[in-house]
Structures are given as structure tokens and as C-alpha cells.
Chain A
């Protein structure tokens, strides 16, 4: 496997705060990586930098062999549009557009909106019947599934999910993780930031950040992509 994404000594400094401190990381093509860590550990900063939403203070970020660290804001917009699929904890759907229109919004900025294709994407996440519903008419789980459909509609090289199950109940969490598993099976590269160890455990590999540094890295030897809920005694 070749590295789709590679961070070399990446730092993000806000005044005296090192949100990321010389982080190096490789994500292979088709890999499912989970990023964990406590609040303030640098997870979101890393996500923003990988997602071309923010710029690193120093270091190299190679996406598909191209260093995006020094790109202009306009070039980063093009990279987000063409190569990255984003999923957020707060869903961020446009309230006055239907589910299918929200999916088509991503196509609109990428190339040409195709309603048939958008409906197929919703079908993949089990929401074809809810395609004409507005976000306010959908449950949290359904909204997140619309976000997954929106993220995958343009066949991005990498899907970045920031706390994708953070606002979901257990049942919907399972549905979303199952969708990730399917995407992974189809060869999609996934980077999932999560607080939830159960969600992190289903990934192939997990890195834990602390104080802007990679504290440890674990590879899941029994990777199945299926979630196992821990019952607390």
C-alpha cells in the first residue's frame, strides 16, 4: 500500500500554544484510521489541517504526493472540493434544503448536480425514502447519514469524520459505523476523530494525541470493522 496522506513534522502554533507539535503520520490508501485524545489534545486542529480547512505553521502535508501545506486559500478550497469528504459532529446540513438537495450541494460545488446519483447515495445510507425531507424532519442519526452520503457523493480520496457519532444514540452510532465499514470495504480511506473508544476500536489503526503530540499508536489485530459495545457493570 502507498501513503495517501503523510504529515511530516507538522506544527500548528497559536501564540505560545503548540496545538500540534511536530507530528508525523502516514495514512495508507484504503486505510481506516481513528484519532483519539482528550479535549485540547490537538485532534480538531489536526482534522482541520488534514481537511485543508486550516494551514500548518510548519511541516509538510502530502496528500496524494502533493504538499498542501503551502497552498493558497483558493487552492485549498479546490483540494477540499476535489479530494476530501467531510463529516461533522453537528451534521451541518442546510436547513432549507431537502436531504437530496443537501447531497447535491456537494456535487454543485464539485461538478454538476445529479439528482439520480444523489438519490443513489441516499439509498446507500438507507435514506432513499426520506430524500425529500428537510433536516428538521429527520432524526439525528438520519441527518448524519445524509452527511455521509454528502461526503461520499464526489468519490473523494479521503473521508474525514470529526466526532461523527458524538451526537448519536447507540443504535444510530452502529448504523453510521456500519456505513464506514462498507465504505472501507469499497476501498475508501477513512480518518475518524472520536472520543469514543468503541468507535476507535473498529478502525484498523488508532493514534492517540496528547498535548499536540502523538502519544501512542495501536493497530487493531482483530480488525473486523464491526462495533462491539462495552456493557458497564
Chain B
């Protein structure tokens, strides 16, 4: 039999035949590794999760025209600078004043799907318009003109300078939804670009385009700078109250997760060190015997460290698997979405567990080498 085989036989026999003590150490390592793996997953995945959550608070970048209006081609060019995976919603708007019941009201033409994606916090009583001739009205407008879901109304375009062509240009609309945001959006009537064009007779073009982009503040700033720098017809600006809040919350959350991870690792180390100290104390006679048989200090260290490393590896593997489950549970319950499995975390958790266990074993093992065989093997 090779020495190595005997070495592994001794280590496995020691661990398997002294289960009760070793299970405590293994549990401590596995729990530590679970928390480590889980929190690392959350630490890495939390910005993605949080950004998705933050996207519920609306657009974080605004495109405004450098001159009169933004053309759709300029928006397409601006979007080409942004990673497609990060674009959550694009809502272009064009504003005109129209008359309903002979009273002026602000009309906003937009892409309904884009507006829905860019402003998920909008609450609509009824349905979003999905075909021409349908409008959504803000709650204030609905209250003012006594409009309800299903009401029919006529909107008339009232240009600043009326001409023969535009005067008395009217369209009939059906109200499909009442918009409730608690903000200025409640003062508008929302319709499609086609309806707006028919009503006003004006060409395409947007007054503003709101973007919801799932990127950190630095990334957003880079995108905005590039759009403004490279496109002469468009200026990109960040909605600072949103991006700064995101950054502050994220950095605090990550710092908290990191702190908890470090504390858990230290507690694991203390628990393993305590268990290994008890193990060494229990096995003083065995250590003495091994030394009496000719074991060098390095042999004793190798044997106990071997046991520690096996414990660390098994605990680490358990922890890596349980950690994913832990992170998944936290993510589903807190962020309401699944996390992405990061396979590289398995070897990282394994290595970290082995390292933490090895460090925790150092002091107890050092005391094992101090055992005096003549004292511990004494007769009676």
C-alpha cells in the first residue's frame, strides 16, 4: 500500500468513525459556506435585481431635441449606443394642445407599449389604448370632463396660429383607460402618434424621449455623454434623483452584505477552531502514540490539516449548493425574481471554505505538536 493511500484511509476513518464530533465542525463549515455562497451571489446579483426594481420608478434618461424636434432616426441612433439587454423601455412623446368640450387640454402622443415599459408605476383603470381612435386620459382630465372608461369624446386641434387646413380639425375618440399616477401625468390625454398626426396634420417628430435603462450611474453617464457627443440633434440627460438614489441604496446594501459575509466567516472560523481544539484535546493520547511510533511534527500537522481540509471541502461543496438555494429563496422572496446561477462560485466557495478551515485549524494543530508522548502515554 502506498503511503498516500494509508494517509487517506487514516483521515477518512477518523472522520467517518468519529462522526458526532466531526458533524458539528462540518455543520459549522457548511452553514458558513452556505451564507458565504448565498451572500456572494446576492452581492453580485443584487445590483441587477435592484436596477430591475428601480426601473419601476420610471425613466432614468431623457432625450431632448437640440433644435426643434427629435426625429425617430435620431432616437434609433441613440439607442444603438446602449446595450440592447439594458434597454427596459423607450417612450417618445409629442405634446400638442387640443380642445375637448371647447376647453383646452394637453395631448401627448406616445408609443403605448414603450410608455408602459418605461413607466411601470402608472396605474390604469381600464385598458391601455391599443388601436387608433382610442385614448387614455389622466385622472384630472377625466374628472374635469366627466369622462369614464368607454366614454366617447371629440378632440379638436387648436394650433397657436390657425390656418385654413388645421382649423376645426376634429377626431372622435373612445376612452379606454383612466391614468392614475399622482403626478402631472394626470393632466394629459394620451393617444397614438397616428391619431395625433391625423388630428394635427403635422409630421413625425418627438418633443422628448424617456428611456429606462438598466445600468449603473457610471454606465448611464457614459451612454449620455456618448449620445450627446456623437449626435448633434439630441441631448441626453440623466434623471439624477433616480440614478443617485439607486447608487446610494446599492452601495449601502452591498456594504451590508459584505459585512455580514465577513462576520459569518469569522464566526465559522471560531466554531471550527473550537471544535478542532476539542478534537485535539480528546486525541492527545493518540497523538502521543503516533509520536511514540515515530511520527514527526510535520506528519501530525499533515494528518490533522488533512482532516480539516476534507471537512472544509465537503462543507464548502455542501455550502455552495445550499448557498444557491439560499440566494434563490432570498431573491424570490425579496426581489420577486430568480437569480442567475454562477458556476464559478462553486470553486470559489470550496476554496474559501478550505482556506477558512485551514486557518481555523492552525492553532489547535500547533498545540497537537506540543503533546509530550512520555506524559500522555503514562501507565495507570
Contacts and interface: CB of A to CB of B under 8 A. Distances in A.
Contact of A109 (B13, B18, B295): B295
B: interface residue count bin? 20 to 34
Nearest to B5: A113
Given A101-B9, A109-B290, A89 B295 contact: no
A206 B286 CA distance: 31
Interface in B3-23: 3, 5-7, 9-10, 13-14, 16-18
A77 B295 contact: yes
Given A44-B378, A53-B373, A106 B293 contact: yes
A134 B14 CA distance: 13
Please report whether the interface of chain B is mostly helix, strand, loop or mixed according to DSSP. helix
Interface string B276-288: 0000000001101
A89 B379 contact: yes
Given A101-B9, A166-B379, A113 B1 contact: yes
B10 A88 contact: no
Most buried by A among B13, B291, B294, B378: B294
A54 B374 contact: yes
Nearest to B378: A44
B374 A94 contact: no
Contacts of A101: 6, 9-10, 13
Contacts of B1: 104, 112-115
Interface in A150-166: 150, 162-163, 166
A82 interface: yes
Interface string A78-106: 10111000101110101111000100111
B295 A163 contact: no
A80 B293 contact: yes
B291 A88 contact: no
Nearest to A80: B294
A112 B10 contact: no
Contacts of B295: 77, 109
A108 B7 CA distance: 8
A53 B374 contact: yes
A115 B6 CA distance: 10
A88 B376 CA distance: 12
A172 interface: no
Contact of B286 (A80, A89, A94, A166): A94
Given A86-B292, A110-B294, A96 B377 contact: no
B124 interface: no
Nearest to A82: B294
B296 A74 contact: yes
A29 interface: no
Interface of A: 44, 48, 51, 53-54, 74, 77-78, 80-82, 86, 88-90, 92, 94-97, 101, 104-106, 108-110, 112-115, 134, 150, 162-163, 166
Given A80-B293, A94-B286, 12 more contacts: A86-B293, A88-B377, A90-B379, A97-B13, A101-B9, A105-B290, A108-B10, A109-B295, A112-B3, A113-B6, A114-B1, A134-B17
26 contacts: A48-B374, A53-B292, A74-B296, A77-B291, A77-B294, A78-B294, A80-B294, A82-B294, A88-B379, A89-B380, A92-B292, A94-B286, A95-B17, A95-B286, A96-B14, A104-B1, A105-B6, A105-B10, A105-B293, A108-B10, A112-B1, A112-B2, A113-B5, A113-B6, A114-B1, A166-B379
